[in-house]
Amino acid sequence: MSETDRRIRVLVAKPGLDGHDRGAKVVAAAFRDAGFEVIYTGLHQTPEMIVAAAVQEDVDVVALSVLSGAHMTLFRRVRELLHREGMDHVLLTGGGIIPKADGDALAREGVGRLFGPGSTTGEAVDYVQTWFAQREDPY
Q: Rounded to the nearest 5 degrees, what angle is found at the Cα of 41, between the Cα atoms of 135 and 70?
A: 85
pLDDT at 63: 98
- pLDDT score of 52: 98
Instruction: Output the tens digit of pLDDT for each of the chain's 139 residues.
Output: 344 578 999 999 999 888 889 999 999 999 999 999 999 999 999 999 999 999 999 999 999 999 999 999 999 999 999 999 999 999 999 999 999 999 999 999 999 999 999 999 999 999 999 999 998 776 6
Ordered domains of the chain (ranges, CATH): 3-134 (3.40.50.280)
pTM of the full structure: 0.94
Check residue 139 and give its pLDDT.
60
| Cα 81 to the center of its chain, rounded Å | 14
Cα-Cα-Cα-Cα torsion 72, 73, 75, 81, nearest 10 degrees, comes to 150
* Cβ count near 63 (within 10 Å): 25
- C-alpha 50/C-alpha 85 separation (Å) is 12
